[in-house]
Structure 1
Amino acid sequence: MTDSPTKPDVSLRLLEIFDAIMRCGTTVEAAEQLGISQPAVSNGIRQLEAQTGVTLFERLHRRLQPTEEAVALHEDIKPVFGLLRGFASRAQDMRQGVSGRLRVISTPPLGHTVAPLAMRRFLKERKDVSVAYDVRRLEHVVEAVQSGHADLGLALALERHPAVNVEVLARTHMVAVLPKTEKVSGSTVSAETLAKGDFVGLEIESNLGQKVRAAFERDGVAYKPRVEVRYCATAAVLASAGIGSAVIDPYTAAFNAGLGVIERGFLPPIEVAAVLITRKGIPRSRLQHAFISEMRKALTDFAAGGMQTIFGPR
């Protein structure tokens, strides 16, 4: 029984040199493109010919003329180096933060108001970037970031959490929204005043719901909502329908201003933080840094002039 002939063990680097010469035509140009010396290119070709047993080039008038065998072999490897060049270019784009995919998840108060502005600005100059975006409840946001299913999370009223990193992006205060039929004077309204009429509360198990109840109790007023809802946007819709007043976050209130509700400052004040949630032990990519920067700008713009400043007249 005879041994099968040994196949040449050709390195990718030698094939890269071969590809460069086939595209450039001279060892000098190939060397410049590869960032190596001209003798290194010549040695590489001699080594490749020795390993394959195939004559690849003939020297004619100080230029290398590829043989028919070289042309045929180059046709086989061209797709490989096209993929490699594409890979290198895409990796560079990712490194510079102009290509790739970002996964963002948010609770509704930010996810349906300020975050879309940040995303619009973020995507404007990044044509090769895509975003996976979802709006869920707080526990789902934390779970998605912790498990690695989302890169960034956005939420309100979460100061810390043992499973994830929590970073405050901005601080603001909750506001009161009342049916437009209500007669209110002044720029603020108290928990005592709201308690005298029908009230739409946020579900008590939520962070915002607990903060609202604590404010009523701090004002010495019983917290007895006529209707209890899960989301601030729902509370705003019910207030516009004349069902009762509510205390909600200012982002949702401003975004739903077209519903015709009356917005006032709420006393006693309820401070809430807009926060960024990230996975522990994972460094941030350039894309993540860029989106976070746009989120900070959007929150600053809101503080300066509300949703009309951000999105324009609606």
Structure 2
Amino acid sequence: MTLRQLEILRAVIRGQTTLAAAKLLAMSQPAVSNAIRQMELQLSFPLFERINNRLYPTDAARIIHEESEPLFAMHAALRERVQDLRESKVSRLRILSTPPLGHGVLPQVLAGFSRRHPQLRTFFDVRDLDEVTRGVESGQADLGFGLNLGAQPALEVEELQQSRMVCVFRSDHPLARREVVTPADLPARGFIALDAGTRMGAAVRGAFQAARQPFHFSVEVRYCNTACVLVEAGMGASVVDPYSAAFAGRPHLMVRPFEPAIPCTAWAFWSARRPLAEIGRRLVREVQLALARR
């Protein structure tokens, strides 16, 4: 039996007449009567007893009806899912981000976004940039966020904000008196450097070289957020991305422009092989707005 035949059987059982079933199904009465006859011929047993112009289901018809109800529940769920897809209301969004955005602006945006989209299930993880780009390229994630993204032919990218790296230190640090910090202002001891193997670490070293200043450090870390933690603890100063500094949530951390300027651009990206769903685009717009208000 087809799903349509089961639907007609169900409507006749509920309406008890072919006329009532026809109204439920938006069919003609003869079409319903013909469908019942075809089913009975196909099955080789009667489905209804006809008493006083009413149709009463046989035991066999009741069994078929009961056994088919889960199919209708699944069909209803599928219709809702298709409607969600038609309206771009996906129920799942998988997000990967690097630490500067993943430990700062993204949690703040996701908190409000999830409240406004209660049916959305979000999968969120923070990884380094290479892992994030691989995850998005492979389809492990729908949407990625990161800084200073290089050429990525397998990705569609959208710029979120152009900014520049900054110098961070405690409020009791001697640099607090300066409006702008340069490589010459940073002492050999008490400078927290970023790993030379990272894009931002290499950029900071390039800025020292451009200023013709020797590059010395007392501590080297991989992530800007780690540098902010050490700065807050009183271990010195560092040059980090502006997002780790702005969203660090540390009251004693001070931020100053760093010269020569080191560009730092925030990006959202997704696979070039699959269009980003509307719900993902909405999230990207909200992250842009949050960064603009920063």
TM-score calculated relative to the size of structure 1: 0.84
More off after superposition, 259-268 vs 158-167: 158-167
- 255, 264, 283: which one aligns with 2:275: 283
Q: What's the secondary structure of 2:64's corresponding residue? A: helix
The superposition leaves residues 19-73 of structure 1 with CA deviations (integer Å, 9 ceiling, x where unpaired) of 2333444545544554544443333222212211222234555554333332222
Unaligned runs of 5+ in 1: 1-9, 303-314
Q: Does 1:108 align with 2:99?
A: yes
Give the AA of the match of 2:242.
P
Aligned partner of 2:197 in structure 1 is 205
- 114, 126, 129: which one aligns with 2:120: 129
Aligned partner of 1:75 in structure 2 is 66
Tell whether the 8 Å contact from 2:188 to 2:218 is kept in structure 1 after alignment.
no
Aligned partner of 1:192 in structure 2 is 184
> Residues 1-314 of structure 1: matches in 2 within 5 Å?
10-28=1-19, 30-31=21-22, 33-59=24-50, 63-183=54-174, 184-195=176-187, 198-302=190-294
The superposition leaves residues 287-310 of structure 1 with CA deviations (integer Å, 9 ceiling, x where unpaired) of 3223223322322332xxxxxxxx
The superposition leaves residues 185-216 of structure 1 with CA deviations (integer Å, 9 ceiling, x where unpaired) of 24322222124653111111111112222222
Unaligned runs of 5+ in 2: none
Q: CA 1:294 to 1:30, structure 2 compared with 1: closer, same or farther past 3 Å?
A: farther
Q: What's the secondary structure of 1:251's corresponding residue? A: helix
Aligned pairs, number: 293
- Say what the alpha-carbon RMSD is for the aligned residues: 2.3
**Distance in 1 between the 2:26 and 2:186 partners?**
74
Give the AA of the match of 1:165.
E
**Distance in 1 between the 2:106 and 2:11 partners?**
47
Q: CA 1:177 to 1:43, structure 2 compared with 1: closer, same or farther past 3 Å?
A: same
Tell whether the 8 Å contact from 2:104 to 2:248 is kept in structure 1 after alignment.
no
TM-score calculated relative to the size of structure 2: 0.89
**Distance in 2 between the 1:62 and 1:17 partners?**
18
Determine what percentage of the aligned residue pairs are the same residue: 39
Give the AA of the match of 1:221.
Q
Q: CA 1:103 to 1:51, structure 2 compared with 1: closer, same or farther past 3 Å?
A: same
The superposition leaves residues 249-305 of structure 1 with CA deviations (integer Å, 9 ceiling, x where unpaired) of 122112224251221111122221111121121122233223223322322332xxx
Tell whether the 8 Å contact from 1:159 to 1:275 is kept in structure 2 after alignment.
no
